[in-house]
A and B are shown apart, each in its own frame.
Chain A
Amino acid sequence: MIKEELMPCVGVITDITRETPDVKTFRVMGLDGKKLFSSKPGQCAMISVPGIGEAMISITSSPTKDYTEFSIKKAGKLTGWLHEAEVGQQIAVRGPYGKPFPVEEDFKGKNLLFIAGGIGLAPLFSVIDYCLDKPDDYGKINVIYGSRSKDDLVDYEKLLEMGKKENCQVNLTIDREQEGWDGHVGFVPTYVKELNPDLSYTVVVCGPPIMIKFTLQGLKELGFKDTQVWTTMEMRMKCGIGKCGRCNIGDKYVCKDGPVFRFDELGQLPNEY
């Protein structure tokens, strides 16, 4: 019988890092110790646990790494279960799914500005890391990332390391003043306007809808065009291959035609996301 895309393979959790009080990063390897699959930056995978369920999770690690990682926020049944899991736990995985960020096309040679809020960093992390691993292929990398508090910054240590690289600038912000934090305080959209990035940047935005909305407004005021701003979308999914009907927006399926979209493409779609 032909290969069935809905049927997962089994992977094993080899490492768990606590990022924030409600976000953990899980490293998942194949049972043979090899990498699960080869993916592209911005793609997702269906993760499942028998009797608990399946959910679409973005791949956090860059394809340039020899492992696959998922930064997962504890939000529902499956993610709650995973947060209780230990190293050595096997899980079911299928994918990768979706259209990746155009790292070999539109992004090549460009200055890249990544704007993220909260767990919205997870799907962007793979792209940022990918571009930093290939410094000759990209211009300046600028990351603007914010969260509720210092404790809620995902990949805090890794981001600090990234910021030390010559071509990379990392700007962190938290919503409110906090003891032990001497960095920027304020919401992401305001911070973006303060930093006033020049128009040479291709921009990638991901975060809570309200953050995206105000960030976009700010970018427009700064002179950025929809054609130079990208995002990655979240919708409920069951199949990941454009059949179950759940993530349908207009004539697009987020799982197959997305999750990566350019804002001028989104403008053609009904406003239902």
Chain B
Amino acid sequence: MLTLKENQLDAFFALIEKKRELYLPVEQNTGKSEFKRWAEGDKYSTALRTTRSAKNFFFAKSENLYDIEMNDKKVEVIDTRKDCNDFVIFGVRACDVRSFDVLDNVFLADPVDSYYKNRRDHGLVISMACSKPAATCFCALFDIDATSPNGDIQAWHVDDTYYFDPITEKGDAFVEEFKECFTEADDAPVRKQKEETLNKIEKLPFVKLNLDGFATEEKLTELFDRPEWKDLSEACLGCGTCTYVCPTCQCFDVKDYKVSEGKTKRYRVWDSCMYSNFTKMAAANPRLTQTERFRQRFMHKLVYYPIKNEGMYGCVGCGRCLVSCPVSMNIVKVIKTMGDN
């Protein structure tokens, strides 16, 4: 397997940054890690998870769709799209890598979203296997193997060594381009770490919850009509934090920003189904209370999405909502209540 030593990592990053844009988790002054553009002096953070997910790299938090101008009665639509620069995301955990598959099913489905595809085409994902999963991790519930994290190149960090295994054509081309950085070494330490980590994962509290029946059309209306939604949603503040930290939440709004008289930027921005105006129309709102909004978010991830996508769940078990929700409400409690656990 290809390897490089920990003390060579910064030189590797510097070399990547010469040819590409490089993004990786870096510890912030808050003590929490976030993905950021690498700069000289930045240390790769080996923290288990970043506060925010990596979805922003492909499904941007906000982005200009096109410009639209109006002068007197004339309207002109200006295509402002351009190819984005090639970039590398380093250190993406298995859960976040799966979230890209979840988003692909939405944005690459016909008709293809050209903004998303542009970023997807130009981005390369170097994942990072987990070795110290937290009690809030439950990716295994969704058949995600945190020790084989996918992406274009899989990586492992064992002691003072990083191991790399390219698994796509893009990944192959990348390691070929940067081959002078790597040395070949036996992958026995990786195999050992995998085994140890899988043992740890096995013992995590939420990885064996019961999902039976969630992803089936037969149970759809039955789950929808369950009275427990009311109690579960009682504490929900509708703050939307869960949807912003969630790697798979994909709802967006399209809005106009007036740059100057007659000139408008029409942009897309993340939105949240937890907000009261999300479905509000001139005449009515089909999701009137927080109970309906709360139910929508979890029904979408656990029932609607998998029915539409061959059983793939819309949750990746990253645990961010468990950590971030101000009232400690989360998908695990929903699965436990609704899944007869």
Contacts and interface: CB of A to CB of B under 8 A. Distances in A.
B45 interface: no
Given A1-B83, A92-B68, A235-B281, A10 B75 contact: yes
B70 A51 contact: yes
A76, A250, A268: which has the most chain B beta carbons within 10 Å?
A: A250
Contact of B254 (A91, A244, A250): A244
Given A50-B262, A245-B271, 8 more contacts: A2-B114, A10-B75, A50-B264, A92-B75, A238-B253, A244-B271, A251-B220, A272-B224
A111 B150 CA distance: 57
Interface of A: 1-10, 48-54, 75-76, 79, 86, 88-92, 208-209, 234-236, 238-239, 241-251, 268-273
A210 to B, nearest CB: 11
A48 B266 CA distance: 11
Interface string B202-228: 000000000000000100110011000
Contacts of A8: 68, 77
A272 B292 contact: yes
B257 to A, nearest CB: 9
Contacts of A245: 250-252, 271, 273, 300
A53 B266 CA distance: 9
Contacts of B117: 2
A248 B283 contact: no
B278 A246 contact: yes
A75 B252 contact: no
Interface in B59-79: 65-66, 68-70, 73-77, 79
Nearest to A9: B77
Contacts of B307: 251
The majority secondary structure among interface residues of chain B is mixed
Contacts of B115: 4
Contacts of A272: 224, 286-287, 292, 296
B182 interface: no
Contact of B73 (A3, A7, A88, A239): A88
A4 B118 CA distance: 11
B256 interface: yes
A270 B271 CA distance: 23
B106 A243 contact: yes
16 contacts: A4-B81, A50-B70, A53-B256, A75-B282, A79-B282, A90-B75, A235-B279, A238-B254, A238-B271, A242-B109, A243-B106, A243-B107, A245-B252, A250-B224, A251-B217, A251-B303
A7, A9, A10: which has the most chain B beta carbons within 10 Å?
A: A7
Nearest to B287: A272
Contacts of A239: 252, 254
B31 interface: no
B74 A270 contact: no
A236 B299 CA distance: 19
Interface in B274-302: 278-284, 286-287, 292, 296, 299-300
A48 to B, nearest CB: 8
B41 interface: no
Interface residues of B, number: 59
B146 to A, nearest CB: 28
A238, A242, A247: which has the most chain B beta carbons within 10 Å?
A: A238
Contacts of B114: 1-4
Contacts of B66: 4, 6-7
Contact of B279 (A54, A91, A236, A243): A236
Contacts of B19: none
B239 interface: no
Contacts of A243: 106-107, 109, 113, 250, 252
B302 to A, nearest CB: 12
B184 to A, nearest CB: 40
A248 B106 contact: no
A79, A235, A236: which has the most chain B beta carbons within 10 Å?
A: A236
Contact of B304 (A48, A92, A248, A268): A248
Contact of A52 (B113, B253, B256): B256
A2 B81 CA distance: 10
A247 B273 CA distance: 10
A238 B279 contact: no
A128 B217 CA distance: 34
A1 B65 CA distance: 13
A1 B74 CA distance: 26
Contact of B256 (A50, A208, A235, A249): A50
B112 interface: yes
Contacts of B81: 1, 4
A244 B251 contact: yes
B308 interface: yes
